[in-house]
Chain A
Amino acid sequence: MNIVEQVLAGSKRALARAITAVENEYDEAVEIMQQLYPHTGRAHVIGITGPPGAGKSTLTDKLTKEYRRQGKTVGIIAVDPTSPFSGGAILGDRIRMNELTLDEGVFIRSMGTRGSLGGLSRKTAEAVKIMDAAGKDIVFIETVGVGQSEVDVIKAADTTIVVLVPGLGDDIQAIKAGILEIADIFAINKADREGVERLNTEIEMMLELNQTRVDWRPPVKRTVASLGEGITELLVAVEEHISYLQKSDQLSMRRTKRTKNELMALLDEQIGRYILKNITSSGEFTAVVAAVERRERDPYSVVANLLRQVLR
């Protein structure tokens, strides 16, 4: 059996290796994705995002256990930041999910952002597809602890849960602009702490002011993830969102948009690579750089020229 057949047959080793191949852009990666693609599109993808330390991993752990009780299989991709200085990373989300490690119906993979700035890594969406093809019913994506502009998760997830905690004070004002607008569901985690009512009111007020989505008002749920409180209620909200997506055609609309974005991103990547290989590595290009440097030529007409050559 080749690696794709093994993934489809449920081999965890093959699943792990397929993700590595894609993440490291090994030669076989494209072929793996080509062959797995027809088997994707079945999993429901849930994004979990929010500020650092909000309880995203703990919540993912508890939600997964609830899905397991329902007999569903779960894949989890947990993203942590890569150091921009060394390129290394400490991926620590598994610490909160250790009880899931030996569950046959759960597969957890940690990923470093590797230079991506949107809260995911460049290959997270592909890793989701691999888990989807491997037959996971639910795939969670835990983003890095986000501030305000790391909103890539909505490009990959069907349902996005934004996790907030009381006591951030005026921080909610700062993060409002970005991540609050991507929420399909709000979870106020650490609801055992002071300030829950205030945070709840703030979110509701913000939702009042921000009535862009008339047909789905993001519900606000309270959880104490560390104690497993409010998890069933949160899951009910997820299920309601799923049925809303299906009834309203939003699901197919979102997925069409995603497919389009993915195709454009792939094109962008391939065209970029082609250009790098065919133009920028030539000796002629070095000469052009020097000419621009000396102000004999300007970068704009140089680029226009190069592009004309490539597209000929």
Chain B
Amino acid sequence: MEKRIRVLVAKPGLDGHDRGAKVVARALRDAGFEVIYTGLRQTPEQIVEAALQEDVAVIALSLLSGAHNHLFPRIVELCRQKDMSDVLIVGGGVIPDTDIPGLKAAGVAEVFTPGTTTSAIIEFIQTNVK
């Protein structure tokens, strides 16, 4: 059995917009990934713990509410604390361009805003996953 790349698609915080997350989840499945989808309203602690138990290579965060500057770095930090720094963390959703450098500096590998093609997302993950 060959290795499958496992991805956790997660929606942190109270944001109820889940179309983007579902679109991304489906696209990743169709590209051969094993996607664990945990649904809405996850705390950073829940997301990182689920990622640990599922032994995923990628955490994919979707957020359209505006709370990304708080939640994304928190998730990166929790991964560090749990010795999961090898996990690739990507994010997407409604995120102002001006916030992206700060998120990357905090450890988010890439941020995908509305209008991104799913093939760009897939390609990024395939080239950057450890």
Contact = CB atoms under 8 A, between A and B. Distances in A.
Contact of B4 (A17, A109, A114): A114
Nearest to A78: B36
Interface in B49-70: 49-50, 52-55
Given A16-B52, A19-B55, A109-B54, A91 B1 contact: no
B53 A16 contact: yes
Given A24-B2, A98-B38, A108-B53, A88 B46 contact: no
Nearest to B55: A16
B50 A101 contact: yes
Interface in A108-155: 108-110, 112, 114, 122-123
Interface in A266-304: none
B45 interface: yes
Given A24-B4, A102-B49, A92 B37 contact: yes
A258 interface: no
A229 interface: no
Given A91-B35, A98-B39, A109 B53 contact: yes
Nearest to A76: B53
Interface residues of B, number: 31
B17 interface: no
A218 B129 CA distance: 48
Given A24-B3, A25-B1, A102-B46, A86 B82 contact: no
A195 interface: no
Contacts, number: 88
A13 interface: yes
B32 A91 contact: no
Interface of A: 12-13, 15-17, 19-20, 23-25, 82-83, 85-92, 94-95, 98, 101-102, 107-110, 112, 114, 122-123
Given A23-B1, A90-B35, 8 more contacts: A12-B52, A24-B1, A83-B29, A88-B32, A91-B34, A95-B38, A101-B50, A114-B1
25 contacts: A12-B53, A13-B52, A13-B84, A17-B55, A19-B55, A20-B6, A24-B1, A24-B4, A83-B29, A86-B29, A88-B29, A88-B34, A90-B25, A90-B35, A91-B36, A94-B38, A94-B50, A95-B37, A95-B39, A101-B50, A102-B46, A108-B50, A109-B54, A112-B4, A114-B1
